[in-house]
Amino acid sequence: MRMRKKKNLQPRMESCETCWIKEPKELRGTWHTLMPEAKEIHLELGCGKGRFTCEMAQTHPDVLFLAVERVPDAMIIAMERAVSMGMCNVFFIDGDAEVLSDYFAEGEVDRIYINFCDPWPGHRHARRRLTHEGFLKRYRAVLKEKGEIHFKTDNRDLFEYSLFQFPKAGYELSEVTRHLHQHGVVGVMTDYEEKFHTQGMPIHRCVGTKGDLSLPKEVEADSKEEA
Ligand SMILES: C[S@@+](CC[C@H](N)C(=O)[O-])C[C@H]1O[C@@H](n2cnc3c(N)ncnc32)[C@H](O)[C@@H]1O
Protein backbone atom coordinates (compact mmCIF):
# COMPACT_ATOMS: atom_id res chain seq x y z
CA MET A 1 0.00 0.00 0.00
CA ARG A 2 1.50 3.34 -1.04
CA MET A 3 0.58 5.80 1.70
CA ARG A 4 1.11 9.53 1.51
CA LYS A 5 3.39 10.76 4.32
CA LYS A 6 1.23 12.03 7.15
CA LYS A 7 1.86 15.44 8.63
CA ASN A 8 2.55 15.49 12.36
CA LEU A 9 2.81 11.72 12.39
CA GLN A 10 4.74 11.49 15.66
CA PRO A 11 2.42 13.70 17.77
CA ARG A 12 -0.57 11.93 16.26
CA MET A 13 0.95 8.56 17.20
CA GLU A 14 1.59 9.82 20.74
CA SER A 15 -2.03 10.91 21.06
CA CYS A 16 -3.05 7.27 20.45
CA GLU A 17 -0.86 5.94 23.25
CA THR A 18 -3.80 4.04 24.79
CA CYS A 19 -3.78 1.56 21.90
CA TRP A 20 -0.18 1.84 20.60
CA ILE A 21 2.22 -0.86 21.82
CA LYS A 22 5.61 0.79 21.46
CA GLU A 23 7.67 -2.08 22.84
CA PRO A 24 5.93 -5.30 21.77
CA LYS A 25 8.91 -7.47 22.72
CA GLU A 26 8.39 -6.52 26.36
CA LEU A 27 4.89 -8.07 26.30
CA ARG A 28 6.06 -11.37 24.80
CA GLY A 29 4.32 -14.17 26.70
CA THR A 30 2.13 -11.77 28.74
CA TRP A 31 -0.26 -10.21 26.19
CA HIS A 32 -3.27 -11.49 28.14
CA THR A 33 -2.44 -8.97 30.90
CA LEU A 34 -3.78 -6.24 28.57
CA MET A 35 -7.21 -7.84 28.96
CA PRO A 36 -7.20 -10.68 31.52
CA GLU A 37 -10.87 -11.52 30.87
CA ALA A 38 -10.32 -12.06 27.12
CA LYS A 39 -11.25 -15.57 26.02
CA GLU A 40 -8.91 -15.50 23.01
CA ILE A 41 -6.18 -13.45 21.31
CA HIS A 42 -6.69 -12.67 17.62
CA LEU A 43 -4.00 -11.04 15.50
CA GLU A 44 -4.32 -9.27 12.14
CA LEU A 45 -1.21 -9.05 9.96
CA GLY A 46 -0.96 -5.94 7.76
CA CYS A 47 -4.07 -4.22 9.10
CA GLY A 48 -3.66 -1.11 6.91
CA LYS A 49 -6.20 1.53 7.97
CA GLY A 50 -7.71 -0.87 10.50
CA ARG A 51 -11.40 -1.07 9.61
CA PHE A 52 -11.46 -4.87 9.97
CA THR A 53 -9.66 -5.07 13.30
CA CYS A 54 -11.70 -2.23 14.85
CA GLU A 55 -15.07 -3.56 13.68
CA MET A 56 -14.18 -7.12 14.68
CA ALA A 57 -13.14 -5.87 18.12
CA GLN A 58 -16.46 -4.06 18.43
CA THR A 59 -18.40 -7.19 17.40
CA HIS A 60 -16.37 -9.46 19.72
CA PRO A 61 -15.82 -7.54 22.98
CA ASP A 62 -14.65 -10.74 24.73
CA VAL A 63 -11.64 -11.15 22.38
CA LEU A 64 -8.37 -9.25 22.59
CA PHE A 65 -7.47 -7.97 19.10
CA LEU A 66 -3.91 -7.11 18.13
CA ALA A 67 -2.78 -5.78 14.75
CA VAL A 68 0.68 -5.60 13.20
CA GLU A 69 1.33 -3.02 10.48
CA ARG A 70 4.74 -2.03 9.16
CA VAL A 71 3.71 1.32 7.65
CA PRO A 72 3.06 3.86 10.42
CA ASP A 73 1.35 6.24 7.95
CA ALA A 74 -1.37 3.58 7.55
CA MET A 75 -1.37 2.46 11.17
CA ILE A 76 -2.05 5.96 12.47
CA ILE A 77 -5.42 5.92 10.65
CA ALA A 78 -6.20 2.55 12.28
CA MET A 79 -5.23 3.79 15.74
CA GLU A 80 -7.20 7.03 15.41
CA ARG A 81 -10.18 4.96 14.33
CA ALA A 82 -9.86 2.73 17.42
CA VAL A 83 -9.55 5.75 19.72
CA SER A 84 -12.54 7.51 18.17
CA MET A 85 -14.61 4.30 18.54
CA GLY A 86 -13.61 4.15 22.23
CA MET A 87 -12.24 0.61 21.82
CA CYS A 88 -10.59 -1.04 24.85
CA ASN A 89 -9.86 -4.48 23.33
CA VAL A 90 -7.66 -3.52 20.38
CA PHE A 91 -3.95 -2.64 20.28
CA PHE A 92 -1.49 -1.91 17.47
CA ILE A 93 2.13 -2.86 16.85
CA ASP A 94 4.15 -0.95 14.25
CA GLY A 95 6.22 -3.97 13.32
CA ASP A 96 6.83 -6.71 10.78
CA ALA A 97 4.98 -10.01 10.37
CA GLU A 98 8.37 -11.50 9.50
CA VAL A 99 9.44 -11.46 13.16
CA LEU A 100 6.24 -12.46 14.95
CA SER A 101 8.04 -14.75 17.36
CA ASP A 102 9.98 -11.75 18.68
CA TYR A 103 6.62 -10.37 19.81
CA PHE A 104 4.71 -13.51 20.81
CA ALA A 105 5.57 -16.62 22.79
CA GLU A 106 4.86 -20.14 21.59
CA GLY A 107 1.12 -20.82 21.25
CA GLU A 108 0.16 -17.36 22.53
CA VAL A 109 -2.13 -16.50 19.59
CA ASP A 110 -5.47 -18.24 18.96
CA ARG A 111 -6.16 -16.89 15.48
CA ILE A 112 -4.41 -14.94 12.74
CA TYR A 113 -6.14 -12.86 10.05
CA ILE A 114 -4.42 -12.10 6.74
CA ASN A 115 -6.56 -9.79 4.63
CA PHE A 116 -5.71 -8.60 1.11
CA CYS A 117 -1.98 -8.93 1.59
CA ASP A 118 0.29 -7.61 -1.16
CA PRO A 119 0.26 -10.26 -3.95
CA TRP A 120 3.88 -9.74 -5.06
CA PRO A 121 3.22 -11.00 -8.61
CA GLY A 122 5.97 -12.95 -10.38
CA HIS A 123 8.12 -15.77 -9.11
CA ARG A 124 11.07 -13.61 -8.03
CA HIS A 125 9.33 -12.06 -5.00
CA ALA A 126 7.08 -15.00 -4.05
CA ARG A 127 8.87 -15.33 -0.70
CA ARG A 128 7.55 -11.91 0.34
CA ARG A 129 3.90 -13.02 0.17
CA LEU A 130 2.43 -13.29 3.67
CA THR A 131 0.98 -16.68 2.64
CA HIS A 132 4.28 -18.07 1.36
CA GLU A 133 5.11 -21.44 2.96
CA GLY A 134 8.04 -19.82 4.80
CA PHE A 135 5.80 -17.22 6.49
CA LEU A 136 3.11 -19.82 7.26
CA LYS A 137 5.69 -22.02 8.96
CA ARG A 138 6.93 -19.09 11.03
CA TYR A 139 3.37 -18.29 12.20
CA ARG A 140 3.18 -21.84 13.59
CA ALA A 141 5.57 -20.81 16.37
CA VAL A 142 3.07 -18.32 17.84
CA LEU A 143 -0.21 -20.08 17.00
CA LYS A 144 -1.67 -22.50 19.52
CA GLU A 145 -2.41 -26.11 18.42
CA LYS A 146 -5.51 -26.11 16.17
CA GLY A 147 -5.15 -22.33 15.92
CA GLU A 148 -6.52 -20.85 12.69
CA ILE A 149 -5.41 -18.54 9.92
CA HIS A 150 -8.28 -16.76 8.18
CA PHE A 151 -7.24 -15.52 4.75
CA LYS A 152 -9.12 -13.26 2.31
CA THR A 153 -8.03 -11.80 -1.03
CA ASP A 154 -9.41 -10.44 -4.29
CA ASN A 155 -6.40 -11.84 -6.17
CA ARG A 156 -7.25 -15.20 -7.78
CA ASP A 157 -3.63 -16.11 -8.59
CA LEU A 158 -2.51 -15.39 -5.02
CA PHE A 159 -5.45 -17.39 -3.70
CA GLU A 160 -4.74 -20.48 -5.82
CA TYR A 161 -1.05 -20.23 -4.90
CA SER A 162 -1.92 -19.96 -1.19
CA LEU A 163 -4.15 -23.05 -1.32
CA PHE A 164 -0.96 -25.00 -2.09
CA GLN A 165 1.11 -23.24 0.55
CA PHE A 166 -1.17 -23.96 3.54
CA PRO A 167 -0.95 -27.78 3.38
CA LYS A 168 2.82 -27.60 2.73
CA ALA A 169 3.16 -25.66 5.98
CA GLY A 170 1.04 -28.15 7.96
CA TYR A 171 -2.38 -26.46 7.91
CA GLU A 172 -5.62 -28.20 7.06
CA LEU A 173 -7.82 -26.19 4.70
CA SER A 174 -11.53 -25.52 5.19
CA GLU A 175 -14.20 -22.96 4.26
CA VAL A 176 -12.65 -22.49 0.80
CA THR A 177 -14.72 -20.13 -1.35
CA ARG A 178 -13.95 -18.15 -4.49
CA HIS A 179 -16.99 -15.90 -4.11
CA LEU A 180 -17.54 -15.10 -0.44
CA HIS A 181 -20.22 -12.47 -0.98
CA GLN A 182 -22.08 -14.18 -3.83
CA HIS A 183 -25.35 -14.21 -1.89
CA GLY A 184 -24.83 -11.02 0.14
CA VAL A 185 -22.10 -9.62 2.37
CA VAL A 186 -20.65 -12.13 4.83
CA GLY A 187 -18.78 -10.99 7.95
CA VAL A 188 -16.82 -7.81 8.60
CA MET A 189 -15.19 -6.21 5.55
CA THR A 190 -11.77 -4.64 5.34
CA ASP A 191 -11.10 -1.28 3.67
CA TYR A 192 -9.71 -3.02 0.56
CA GLU A 193 -12.48 -5.58 0.52
CA GLU A 194 -15.23 -2.98 0.41
CA LYS A 195 -13.51 -1.24 -2.50
CA PHE A 196 -13.10 -4.44 -4.54
CA HIS A 197 -16.56 -5.73 -3.67
CA THR A 198 -18.11 -2.43 -4.79
CA GLN A 199 -16.24 -2.81 -8.10
CA GLY A 200 -17.91 -6.22 -8.54
CA MET A 201 -14.80 -8.31 -7.93
CA PRO A 202 -15.28 -11.70 -6.23
CA ILE A 203 -13.61 -12.13 -2.84
CA HIS A 204 -11.82 -15.40 -2.09
CA ARG A 205 -11.53 -16.83 1.41
CA CYS A 206 -10.21 -19.88 3.21
CA VAL A 207 -9.28 -21.02 6.71
CA GLY A 208 -6.09 -22.94 7.54
CA THR A 209 -6.05 -24.91 10.81
CA LYS A 210 -2.70 -25.69 12.37
CA GLY A 211 -2.06 -29.44 12.33
CA ASP A 212 1.01 -31.64 12.26
CA LEU A 213 3.89 -30.54 10.12
CA SER A 214 4.66 -33.98 8.77
CA LEU A 215 7.64 -34.77 6.61
CA PRO A 216 7.04 -34.99 2.85
CA LYS A 217 5.92 -38.55 1.91
CA GLU A 218 9.17 -39.57 0.18
CA VAL A 219 11.28 -38.40 3.17
CA GLU A 220 9.01 -40.37 5.53
CA ALA A 221 9.43 -43.48 3.36
CA ASP A 222 13.22 -43.06 3.22
CA SER A 223 13.53 -42.68 6.99
CA LYS A 224 11.39 -45.82 7.58
CA GLU A 225 13.64 -47.83 5.23
CA GLU A 226 16.75 -46.63 7.06
CA ALA A 227 15.35 -47.62 10.50
C1 LIG B 1 -2.92 -4.23 0.54
S2 LIG B 1 -2.86 -3.63 2.15
C3 LIG B 1 -4.31 -4.33 2.90
C4 LIG B 1 -4.70 -3.63 4.17
C5 LIG B 1 -5.88 -4.25 4.95
N6 LIG B 1 -5.57 -5.59 5.43
C7 LIG B 1 -7.15 -4.27 4.13
O8 LIG B 1 -7.57 -5.36 3.71
O9 LIG B 1 -7.71 -3.19 3.92
C10 LIG B 1 -1.56 -4.64 2.85
C11 LIG B 1 -1.02 -4.07 4.14
O12 LIG B 1 -0.10 -5.01 4.70
C13 LIG B 1 1.02 -4.31 5.21
N14 LIG B 1 2.16 -5.25 5.23
C15 LIG B 1 2.74 -5.84 4.18
N16 LIG B 1 3.74 -6.65 4.57
C17 LIG B 1 3.78 -6.58 5.92
C18 LIG B 1 4.60 -7.17 6.92
N19 LIG B 1 5.60 -8.02 6.59
N20 LIG B 1 4.37 -6.88 8.22
C21 LIG B 1 3.38 -6.02 8.56
N22 LIG B 1 2.57 -5.40 7.66
C23 LIG B 1 2.76 -5.68 6.36
C24 LIG B 1 1.20 -3.16 4.24
O25 LIG B 1 1.95 -2.09 4.79
C26 LIG B 1 -0.26 -2.78 3.96
O27 LIG B 1 -0.73 -1.82 4.87
Beta carbons of 93 and 67 less than 8 angstroms apart: yes
Check if 110 is active-site: no
Which atom of ligand 1 is found nearest the CA of 75?
A: 27
Q: 15-64, pLDDT tens digit by residue?
A: 999 999 999 999 999 999 999 999 999 999 999 999 999 999 999 999 99
pLDDT at 223: 46
pLDDT at 114: 98
Catalytic residue selected from 94, 96, 110, 118: 118
Domains and CATH numbers, the chain: 9-224 (3.40.50.150)
Which residues form the pocket of ligand 1, taking CB atoms under 6 Å from any ligand atom?
Answer: 1, 45-48, 68-71, 74, 96-98, 115-118, 190-193
The residue contributing the CA closest to ligand 1 atom 23 is: 46
Q: 187-215, pLDDT tens digit by residue?
A: 999 999 999 999 999 999 999 999 998 76
Question: What is the SS3 string spanning 61-116?
Answer: CCEEEEEECCCHHHHHHHHHHHHHCCCCCEEEECCCHHHHHHHCCCCCEEEEEEEC
